[in-house]
Amino acid sequence: MEYSFGWFIVVLCVHQCVALAYNSVVSGYQIGVGRADCTGPPVEITFMGYAQLSQKGEGIHLRQFSRAFIVDDGQKRVVFVSVDAGMIGNAVKRAVLQHLSKEFGNMYNHKNVLISGTHTHSSPGGFLTHLLYDLPCLGFIKETFNALVLGIAKSISRAHKSMTDGRLFISEAEILEVNINRSPSAYLNNPEEERNQYKYDVDKTLTQIRFVTSSGKIMGAINWYPVHPTSMNNTNKLVSSDNMGYAAILLEQEYNKGSLIGQGDFVGAFAASNLGDVSPNIMGPKCQYTGDSCDVLTSSCPANAGQCFASGPGTNIFESTKIIGDRIYQGASRLLRQQTGHEILGEVNYIHQFVNMTQVKLKYVNPKTKAVEEVRGCFPAMGYSFAAGTTDGPGAFDFHQGTTSDNPLWNVVRDFIAEPTKGDIECHHPKPILLATGRATFPYDWQPKVVATQLLRIGDTILVAAPGEFTTMSGRRLRNSVRNAALQAHEKDVKVIICGLSNMYTSYVATPEEYTSQRYEGASTLFGPHTLTIYLDQFSKLVQSMLSEEEVDPGPEPAHLEDKNLLTLQTGVLYDGHPYGHDFGTVKVQPKPRYIPGQTVRVVFIAANPRNNLLHEDTFLRVERLDEARNEWRTVATDANWETLFRWTRVSMILGFSDVEILWEIPQGTPAGKYRISHLGYYQYIFGGKFPYNGTSQVFVVDQKG
């Protein structure tokens, strides 16, 4: 809006008066940041995301971290947490709050704590408690669950203890060559006039909130960007936080100079947004064996052409992860250096409500016919295209995306598990139901019916806790809906940020128009074609209640499935053994005497199962350099570094023999000197008890020139 000079003076005076009055109520924020290791069991546990039983962990490439941020206006406080995990389950959040209550009472609760997963597909699964999500990981895995709970709680506790006077600033940057829409045909089903409002078929804006102390020091930053952390595809078997986690490591290394990864005061998170149909594999989908383009509607390939896979900009998954992560990091780093944007001012608030999606009915204006229809939430069900997977990770059998008709043979299998009612089939139309998960209750619920909805307000910024994967257009509609509701409630504009995969997981949320295509995202939209319609209505009501300071009914709390005897087919570690005459930690393969930057050091140790102790806040490996002046060894890299790789191999199942291979790709610029590599671990004694061991390689020299 433009003003004449006279109006500018008037507006300036009014603005100053309003600011003085406003600041008399809210004089500033207390802010805090914290980070903690939450790495799950790195071996033998299936990763969450691709639903591939063969994708069991074999080691670590990048550790998982939880990053917490607290804002307090003197009256209320809110907590945002971004976790290097596939998603967050309600049982995980509940356990985190129970853990925090021992230290802080009821200060942190469902209402004011928002926990968001980055959605990496390369971290251990088995922590969601609902059967459909845990079954591909061989059921509930207590080790994974506990690692997440303790790490998240510790990050919040550290943020609490770091709190100081500070200010918040929000800014944005467009980042290109990072993401594409993996279901463009479904996106085109959205109304043309709506699509014409946007330049791209995915959002390319990075939104950043930076935390600055009263002395001007940048304490931390949250960066939201919509992209799937699937640069590491379903062939990867090393724990990795993928592209978003690597971006976080780069940003933290920039501001924590001289500190090892996971250490240092600055905390930088890269969090999920509306990433449902967004892929980092920007080279697009191609047929596996021929390199030809896949069918646009079904993402299928001709006979003998292989599966339809999308790939990233690199020559392999590691290079692609590095490129995409670096591009996201560069955008965030640039914003921090420029220190642009505007300051966030105003009160802090929050609101939370559980909703049984299967009981919601509301009026809906059909955009095509303009007729008012009554729509409702369906009992959860997954469509045929769900089994087809995506171009980031194709599924099994001969399923194809875009399937809108059923198969009598698969229906027999479906009905044996749980038969959908006639009402279910009609409600989910045109989705052909492959799994009637809302009707499946053996041995316990397969998918949730009750979902968590939550908003956090920090001044003129509202964080929307999205309990699933909203597609690009679903996220846009949600942002607009919350913004419009806020305008109606108090006639002030707000900035709305979608925080994806928050608090609990309910698969995907496609628009009603995208749903008709029955691509993977539509087939995985849990509560039927009007799932998004319900969320738009629910979050609009929540923002109006929050801004009006109205209390809302907490809603029906989800079942405590974690209290049940949850199914697990994953065996524990029985015992570890080592060859006669060679103890744990013995070096089987020594490094060469000399290396130059760019080369890779390889060392192999006799080892035990890493599941015996996850070594949180520690490491399974150390790259050490001799400080000759002090005659002491200093750690220069751990298993959290990009350039290291920790891989475990079971040599003998019966005897319990294991090997650990450690690789260190020497970075350019590594100082010349003497180095060594050490391995740390715990072994399970056959008669009980776990005991530490370690081993160290021979010394090798790194030269600047060969």
Positions annotated as catalytic residues are 279
> Are 376 and 360 contacting, i.e. CB atoms less than 8 angstroms apart?
yes
CB neighbours (10 Å) of residue 461?
18
User: Exposed/middle/buried for 345, CB within 10 Å: 0-12, 13-18, 19+?
Assistant: middle
The two three-digit tokens of residue 567, written as one number: 């199914």
Separation CA 321–CA 227 (nearest Å): 12
Q: Where are any strands of DSSP class E within 84-161? A: 113-117
- Give the separation between CA 306 and CA 291, rounded to whole angstroms: 9
Helix H, strand E, coil C: the string for 150-197 is HHHHHHHHHHHHCCEEEEEEEEEEECCCCCEECCHHHHCCCCHHHHCC
Q: Three-state SS string across 14-38, please?
A: HHHHHHHHHHHHCCCEEEEEEEEEC
Polymer length in residues for the chain:
706
Calculate the alpha carbon distances from 44 to 165, 180, 330, 426 in Å: 45, 33, 35, 42
| Separation of alpha carbons 502 and 506, rounded Å | 10
3-state secondary structure 320-360: HHHHHHHHHHHHHHHHHHHCCCEEECCCEEEEEEEEEHHHC
Strands 508-509 and 469-470, sheet pairing: parallel
CA–CA dist 399, 409 (Å, integer): 13
What single string gives the DSSP state of each residue in 522-542?
Answer: HHTBTT-TTHHHHHHHHHHHH
Give the three-class secondary structure for 47: strand
Distance separating alpha carbons of residues 365 and 372, to the nearest angstrom:
5
b/e 81-103 (16+ beta carbons within 10 angstroms → b): bbbbbbbbbbbbbbbbbebbeee
Question: 277-302 as b/e, with b when 16 or more CB fall inside 10 Å?
Answer: bbbbbbeebbbeeeeeebbeebbbbe
